[in-house]
Amino acid sequence: MDLEEARLKARALREQIEYHNYRYYVLDDPVISDAEYDRLMRELQTLEREFPELITPDSPTQRVGGEPRPGFTTVRHFTPMLSLANAFDEESLREFDRRVRELVGGEPVEYVVEPKIDGLAVSLYYENGLLVWGATRGDGEVGEDITPNLKTIRSIPLRLRASGVRRVEVRGEAYMPKAAFAELNAAREEAGEPAFANPRNAAAGSLRQLDPRVTAARQLNIYVYGLGLVEGPVLATHADALAWLREAGFRVNPGHRVCDSIEEVLAYCREWEGKRFDLPYVIDGMVVKVNSLDQQRRLGATLKSPRWAVAFKFPPEQAVTVIEDIIVRVGRTGVLTPTALFRPVRLAGTTVSRATLHNEDLIREKDVRIGDHVVVQKAGDVIPEVVRVLPERRTGGERSYTLPRECPACGASTVRLEGEVARRCPNMACPAQLHERLIHFASRNAMDIAGLGPKIIAQLLDRGLVRNAADLYALRYEDLVGLERLGPKSAQNLLRAIAESKDRPLAQLIFGLGIRHVGERAARVLAERFGSLKNLMAASEEELQGIPEVGPKIAASVVAFFAAEENREIVRRLERAGVRTREEVRVRGDLPLAGKTFVLTGALERFTRQEAERLIAELGGRVASSVSRKTDYVVVGENPGSKLTRAVALGIPLLSEEEFLALVGEAGRRS
């Protein structure tokens, strides 16, 4: 392939990949499989490796940052990033409305109400359609340049899907979804690292990483909610701005609504307060903004916050209860986690009766004792935790607690490794660890073995029937039927469930192995990249680190896991037992325009250029920017340019808009 061909190829691949990013991450409506997407990405990476001069800053390969940086530089915002005044009750919101209407001279006022996402404010600066930098708010005037980290968020367009934009600053909230937060903290506790207090801290910590690969592994997302500097789009209202942002390729929260009166605003806020705990992300209130941009300008801002907006804050969900006991759980990597058992209370939508105390340092810092009255809350609406003790309610009968120096399960001396907050049982064969590892292996998101719960696993371990995951596949009916709570029928069902689990997707098996730091998402990435356990076992640390979304920790941990002969033996035995250890290649009918290259010239009547390109890409075709011998069709619209001349000279088939329509119409029907 010569350079020019490579350039065209790279461009087509980039457009396709960004289009699929948009479908997946913004519209939440993918049109190709993950494997297919991966293939495109690999193709582009290979091409860019061969022709490094073709790498552009908006190439999707640039989303997974390069080398860690020594520190952050700063950028100056073109328009300051202000914060919001708060309203803590309905009366303050009505007061805000009265003030606004008075200041605009009694004109009618419309409001836009949006959820207030609890994350980190960021600004994205685009010049001539290209992302130039992304930064934190900082002091509002100057922020930290975190461009490589923000680029890892796939719903941030590297190039706007809108034309005629000279310069624009897009403002939004980067955040960590609740599920990602729960997963991250669970992994951190197992690894003996301090947990993040809430998803906001987790998001901030992830974005302020000097190594963008770590950020990439953190599953961050963004909702954009406004503009700073605007040179290009002409907008009259905030609602227009949100619509424009969506058109331009950004993720805008669909929960925004235009309201005619403050009563409607209040009703809408109440509606969201009622469903806040069911959302996949944390909100700590609603933001109310004057819709008319002209009115916004006239209202202006104080030094700190605009007069045209206010944050209506929801009360934090906390409750007071009494700690009845503190127990300790030995996790699958040996970490001892203290858990407080307390009188059940309602919290953020559910009844809770236990909360993690994280580690011994936290127990000491908070001075938590058995019998204490404590304030509890759910961190990020997800994980219950003890906020603080109410010492004024102590009676003198409270008992302090220290983590045991001996493992409660096997009696081994517990250790605390340098730099870790966790105390661990170092005994790999500790029955509590085996128990947890097997529970994990059988769990729904791993091998999904119905009926293999903690109680059965405990009995299997006690009787020496299993010691690791591979042993499960050697179990016989006679082994099971004698167990407590397991009649002949259940024993048979369990055997069937174990047999069925042999056919789980590779990603679930990798997750089930319980490799430290390898959560569900990392497991999926690894499964897709390597296609089999054999390949994964053979991977070097460098190879692993070269994968987007695989940070240095995951890479080291995978290598360490498979370096242990015990684990290799388990894998070999799983294979021998007939457990599927390779990914089935997903077969997809070939796309109808696969392998066909199109060039567009002139204006089409029924499509914009972008729509036509998208359509071709969706059907598997490619769009090139210039005509060559490799071009299959040139689509000719009104006022075609020199591409037509060249097409005629080379004898490339020409398609009118009608013929193009007929082709894609037919192809669309076939696919």
Of these, 12, 26, 82, 472, which contacts ligand IVH (CB under 6 A)? 82
Residues 602, 636 contacting (CB under 8 angstroms): yes
Residues 156-215 that bind ligand IVH (CB under 6 A): 173
Count residues binding ligand IVH (CB under 6 A).
14
Could you confirm whether 116 is annotated as catalytic? yes
CB atoms within 10 A of CB 429: 11
Task: Write the CA distances from 191 to 222, 244, 274, 333, 434, integer angstroms.
Answer: 27, 44, 36, 8, 17
Q: Where are the alpha helices (DSSP H) in 229-378?
A: 238-247, 262-275, 293-299, 360-366
The span of 50-58, 82-90, 337-345, 531-539 binding ligand IVH (CB under 6 A) equals 82-90
Q: Does 226 bind ligand IVH (CB under 6 A)?
A: yes
What is the rounded CA–CA span in Å between residue 308 and residue 324?
Answer: 49
Residue nearer to ligand IVH on the CB measure, 241 or 328 = 241
Stretch that binds ligand IVH, among 116-124, 384-392, 460-468, 477-485 (CB under 6 A): 116-124
> What secondary structure does DSSP assign to 8-31, as a single string?
HHHHHHHHHHHHHHIIIIISS--S
One-letter identity of residue 527: A
- Residue selected from 87, 104, 121, 352 as contacting ligand IVH according to rule CB under 6 A: 121
Question: Of 306 and 668, which CB lies nearer to ligand IVH in the complex structure?
Answer: 306
| 84 touches ligand IVH by CB under 6 A | yes
Q: Which is nearer to ligand IVH, 290 or 422 (CB)?
A: 290
Indicate which single residue of 8, 222, 311, 547 sits in contact with ligand IVH (rule: CB under 6 A).
Answer: 311
Whose structure tokens read 């030995």? 330
Spell out, one character per residue from 495 to 534, where the chain touches ligand IVH: x when CB under 6 A holds, - when not. ----------------------------------------
Instruction: Please say which residue, 175 or 196, places its beta carbon nearer to ligand IVH.
Output: 175
How many other β-carbons are positioned within 10 Å of the β-carbon of residue 421? 18
- Told to check if 269 binds ligand IVH by CB under 6 A, we report no
Which residue's CB atom is positioned nearest to ligand IVH? Answer: 121
Question: Which range binds ligand IVH by CB under 6 A, 303-311, 410-418, 590-598, 635-643?
Answer: 303-311
Tell whether residue 113 is a contact of ligand IVH (CB under 6 A).
no
Sequence-separated (6 or more) residues with CB below 8 Å from residue 193: 420, 421, 422
268 lines the binding site for ligand IVH (CB under 6 A)? no
Among positions 225, 401, 607, 633, the unique one binding ligand IVH when judged by CB under 6 A: 225
- Choices 79-87, 337-345, 358-366, 546-554; region in contact with ligand IVH by CB under 6 A: 79-87
655 phi and psi angles, rounded to 5 deg: -125, 130
Which CB sits closer to ligand IVH, 157 or 228? 228
Least distance CB 131 / ligand IVH (angstroms): 19
CA gap 232, 169 in Å, rounded: 11
Question: Which of 135/554 has CB closer to ligand IVH?
Answer: 135
- Residue type present at position 11: R
Given the residues 116, 178, 289, 596, select the one marked as catalytic. 116
**Angle CA(241)–CA(142)–CA(313) in degrees, nearest 5?**
55
If one asks whether residue 79 binds ligand IVH (CB under 6 A), the answer comes out as no
Q: Number of helices (H) and strands (E), helices first, in the chain? A: 25, 20
Candidate list 309, 336, 554, 623; residue touching ligand IVH; CB under 6 A? 309
Per CB under 6 A, 117 contacts ligand IVH: yes
In the complex, the smallest distance separating the C-beta of residue 284 from ligand IVH, rounded to whole angstroms, is 8
Q: Does 83 bind ligand IVH (CB under 6 A)?
A: yes
Q: Which residues contact 333 (CB under 8 A, 6 or more apart)?
A: 190, 191, 424, 433, 514, 516
Does residue 425 contact residue 409 with C-beta atoms inside 8 Å?
Answer: yes
Counting contacts by CB under 6 A, is residue 40 touching ligand IVH?
no
Amino acid at the residue 337: T
Measured from the CB atom, the residue of 114 and 528 that comes closer to ligand IVH is 114
CA distances to 54, 129, 130, 627, 654 from 663, in Å: 32, 32, 33, 20, 12
Closest CB to ligand IVH among residues 245, 591: 245
Query: Closest separation between CB of residue 309 and ligand IVH, Å?
Result: 5
Q: Two tokens at 106? A: 């009694």
CB of 383 to ligand IVH, least distance (A): 22
Pairing, β 633-636 against β 597-601: parallel
Per-residue buried b or exposed e for 639-668, using 16+ beta carbons within 10 Å of the residue's own CB: ebeebbebbeeeebebbebeebbebbeebe
Which are the catalytic amino acids? 116
**Interface ranges with ligand IVH (CB under 6 A):** 82-84, 114, 116-117, 121, 173, 225-226, 287, 306, 309, 311
